[in-house]
Amino acid sequence: MESLSAYFDKTVLAWLVAVPFLAAFAVLFTPRQSVKFLRNFSVGAMLVEFVISWHLLARGDYTTAAYQFSASYPLIESWGISFNVGVDGISLWLVMLTTFVTPIALYASWTSVETKVKEFALCFLFLECAMIGAFVSLDLFVFYVFWELMLVPMYLIIGIWGGADRVYASIKFFLYTMVGSLLMFVAILYVVNAYHGVTGTYTFDVTQLSQLVLERQAQLFLFGAFALAFAIKVPMFPFHTWLPDAHVQAPTGGSVILAAVLLKMGTYGFVRFAMPLFPLASHAFAPTLALLAVVGIIYGAYCAWVQKDVKKLVAYSSVSHLGFVMLGIFSVTQQGISGAVLQMVNHGISTGALFLLVGVIYERRHTRLLSAFGGLAKGMPLYTLLFVIVSMSSVGLPGTNGFIGEFMILNGTFLSERLPTAFVFALFASTGVILAAIYMLHAVLKMFWGPLDNPENEGLSDVSGRELTALAPLLALVFVLGFFPGVFLEKMNPAVDGFLRAYNAKLIESSENDEARVLKADALNGATRGDVKLALGQAEGDK
């Protein structure tokens, strides 16, 4: 037993990536007629994956900012590419969220996905492999590969099992996110090349690359390229328009994964890659991004309010909620970032549950138009209860998970020294709290209250045991996170502290560089030289 643990300590992350992949491989060689086996096997494999991921929780030491379970398997040595993995208190929770939500989404899908079951299972398993891979990669090349790999199964999930307009939505989703990412790849190559110019070695290892202090101008462009890719994925206003289309057309399971995990890639990317690599540019862009985040919070909420389709309403609410996450990150305060990471998890749980719930009513009524509902509370009390609880969590009611995240983000924004007039940012962002109540309660009112005057809504069956099984873990987490966020925060905080320390140290150093650059500029008349300088001894300076 002990030796098994020790073995897993070294290889658990590789296994987490490999298990869904191997399962997908097995599915590939299963006859498509054995539908029942395929369904059970794929969910079973994901549950095994979930169990394995508990090893991260149980055996990792998250009192430090250091990466846990790190391992490196060389892939292309001459280019310095290796399968270099590790988790810290930030990625831990996103990995856990992924392994937790994916089986639920797949399990819930098995009531509605009747055709091409084998392919659906295959897509989901590949998707999980890619998502986990992206969260644990510390190698930019491998990260990029997983990042793009995620698109393929999701593209297929929307395009094959989606709604009436699925082809348009899936192509839009694919192209929009893909185009944004291409520039990021160019930027990655530039950074690697610059690092090579300084040290003479090629590496894609982000921990090493972030030792590099690039020139301000270069940082601005490179950060821009990264930020575009991530902002589209988040999605940040004004790059969000693929989201409502994708969500509305995606099958329930796809929507759940899209909202719960895929969107987090963007915000995670900012924290893990864009900010540590380009602190000077992050610093310069922070007020702009925070402003866009606040606009997104308010704008997303307003758009959500008047949607006729409840799934679209939830999709726009994601724009608003992710605005909070972005604001927290770019407040560059400890609680802002901790709150943002927590809010990523919260949003995964609440919005995942909301999409599941929307799927429940869609399966019964084959419509999602708010105007088609009304008075559902009469016939579906349990469904109503669940929906109201999740709505309240989405609104950020204290005692539910949503509150802690929003509270910490708003508080972090309020106390931020990086945002000019942080008070005003916090003030406007806080109005999102009011708007969230408006659009969510609007939906609840239209769906559940009032007389049951549409005969088609009569005699609908309440939430089934199967549906409840899928929802119950999410519901439980709503309250666990609401009442005991400390469990999550205590593992997260050291990583966030470490991130901030390194970020600030590097920012100060680059600023000095920057000052010198300004001096140089007026003397040199533009002839640039010494593009890069290795931040020697920075790591020592931190200790």
Partner 1 sequence: MESFYETALGLIVLIPMLGALLNGIGGCFFKADKAIVKAVAIGAVASAFVLACIAFAGVVQGHGDDPSFALTQHLYEWFSVQVDGRTVPVNVRFTMDALSGFMTVMITGIGLLIHIYAASYMSEEPSFARFFAYLNLFMASMLILVLGSNLPLMFVGWEGVGVCSYLLIGFWFENPAYAAAGKKAFITNRVGDFGVLIGMFILLSATGSFEFGEINRHASSLTMPFQLGSISLEASIATMAVLFLFLGCTGKSAQLPLYVWLPDAMAGPTPVSALIHAATMVTSGVYLACRLSPVFVQSPTAMAVIAVVGTLTALIAASIALVQNQLKKVLAYSTVSQLGFMFAAVGVGAFSAGIFHVLTHAFFKACLFLGAGSVMHAVHAHGDADFRDIGGMKKWMPYTNITFFISCLAIAGIPGTSGFFSKDMILHGALNAGEFFEFAPWLGQAVFGALALGAACTAFYMFRLYYLAFTGEFRGGHGHGHDDHGHDDHGHGHHGDPHESEFGITVPLMVLALGAALVGFLGMPSWAHLPDFWNEWLDGVVAGLPNAHEGHHDSSTGSIAAIVGTIAGVGGWLVARGMFKDKPWHAAEHLSPLHQFLMDKWRVDEFYEAVLIRPMTALAKVSAGIDRVAVDGLTKLAAGAARGFGWLMTRAQTGEMHAYSASMAFGIIGLTWWVAYPHAHIDAAEKGDAVHFVAGSGLGYEYRWDFDSDGEFDTEWGADKRDVSHAYDADSAVAAELVLVEAAGRFSGKYKVRIDEVSGAVDLSTRHLGDGWRTQPHGHTPPSVRYEEGKVFVRPGASSVKVNGTSAEGSEIPVLPGSTVQFGDFAKVRVDAVVRSTLAVRNAFGNLDKTRVDVVVQPKAPAHAARKADKNSSVMALRSEAQ
> Which residues from 477-506 bind partner 1, rule CB under 8 A?
483-486, 489
CA–CA gap between residue 144 and residue 131 (Å, rounded): 11
Binding partner 1 (rule: CB under 8 A), the pick from 399, 461, 464, 541 is 399
Tokens read off for 304: 């959500």
- Contacts to partner 1 from residues 215-274, by CB under 8 A: 237-238, 240-242
Sorted by sequence, the CB contacts under 8 Å of residue 343 that are 6+ apart come out as 321, 324, 325, 328, 402, 405, 406, 408, 409
CA–CA gap between residue 349 and residue 343 (Å, rounded): 10
Number of residues that bind partner 1 (CB under 8 A): 82
Residue 441 sits at the vertex; the CA angle it makes with 471 and 162, to the nearest 5 degrees, is 50
CA–CA gap between residue 43 and residue 259 (Å, rounded): 19
CA–CA gap between residue 372 and residue 219 (Å, rounded): 51
Cβ-based nearer residue to partner 1, 76 or 424: 424
Cβ-based nearer residue to partner 1, 183 or 427: 427
CA–CA gap between residue 520 and residue 218 (Å, rounded): 16
DSSP code at position 85: E
- Contacts to partner 1 from residues 304-343, by CB under 8 A: 305-307, 333-335
Cβ-based nearer residue to partner 1, 74 or 399: 399
Helix or strand (DSSP H, E) at 425: helix 422-448
Q: Which stretch binds partner 1 (CB under 8 A): 75-83, 147-155, 263-271, 510-518?
A: 510-518
Four-CA torsion 147, 10, 49, 257, nearest 10 degrees: -20
Q: Which stretch binds partner 1 (CB under 8 A): 24-32, 33-41, 47-55, 295-303?
A: 295-303
Cβ-based nearer residue to partner 1, 161 or 299: 299
If one asks whether residue 15 binds partner 1 (CB under 8 A), the answer comes out as no
CA–CA gap between residue 297 and residue 10 (Å, rounded): 42
If one asks whether residue 460 binds partner 1 (CB under 8 A), the answer comes out as no
Cβ-based nearer residue to partner 1, 52 or 295: 295
H-type alpha helices, 449-484:
465-483
**Hey, is 70 helix, strand or coil?**
strand
CA–CA gap between residue 166 and residue 214 (Å, rounded): 43
Cβ-based nearer residue to partner 1, 71 or 463: 463
Burial of residue 295 (CB within 10 Å: 0-12, 13-18, 19+) is: middle
If one asks whether residue 529 binds partner 1 (CB under 8 A), the answer comes out as yes
Q: Which stretch binds partner 1 (CB under 8 A): 19-27, 286-294, 356-364, 509-517?
A: 509-517
Cβ-based nearer residue to partner 1, 132 or 214: 214
Q: CB of 347: closest distance to partner 1 in angstroms?
A: 17
CA 336 to chain centre: 16
Strand 212-214 and strand 81-87: the pairing is unpaired
- Contacts to partner 1 from residues 159-218, by CB under 8 A: 172, 175-176, 197-198
- Contacts to partner 1 from residues 418-447, by CB under 8 A: 420-424, 426-427, 430-431, 433-434, 437-438, 441-442, 444-445
Cβ-based nearer residue to partner 1, 103 or 482: 482
Q: CB of 505: closest distance to partner 1 in angstroms?
A: 15
Binding partner 1 (rule: CB under 8 A), the pick from 302, 367, 372, 479 is 302
**Residue 543's closest CA among 493, 515, 505?**
505
Q: CB of 307: closest distance to partner 1 in angstroms?
A: 7
Residue identified by tokens 């942080």 is: 422
Q: CB of 21: closest distance to partner 1 in angstroms?
A: 33
Four-CA torsion 379, 383, 388, 391, nearest 10 degrees: -130
Q: CB of 6: closest distance to partner 1 in angstroms?
A: 33
Binding partner 1 (rule: CB under 8 A), the pick from 299, 355, 387, 499 is 299
Binding partner 1 (rule: CB under 8 A), the pick from 30, 112, 367, 411 is 411
350: number of CA atoms within 13 Å, CB side?
Answer: 33
Cβ-based nearer residue to partner 1, 12 or 422: 422
If one asks whether residue 78 binds partner 1 (CB under 8 A), the answer comes out as no
Q: CB of 399: closest distance to partner 1 in angstroms?
A: 6
Phi–psi pair at 472, nearest 5 degrees: -55, -45
Binding partner 1 (rule: CB under 8 A), the pick from 61, 165, 456, 512 is 512
Q: Output the CA–CA distances (angstroms, integers) from residue 320 to 92, 311, 374, 431, in the order listed.
A: 25, 14, 25, 11
If one asks whether residue 375 binds partner 1 (CB under 8 A), the answer comes out as yes
Binding partner 1 (rule: CB under 8 A), the pick from 94, 130, 390, 408 is 408
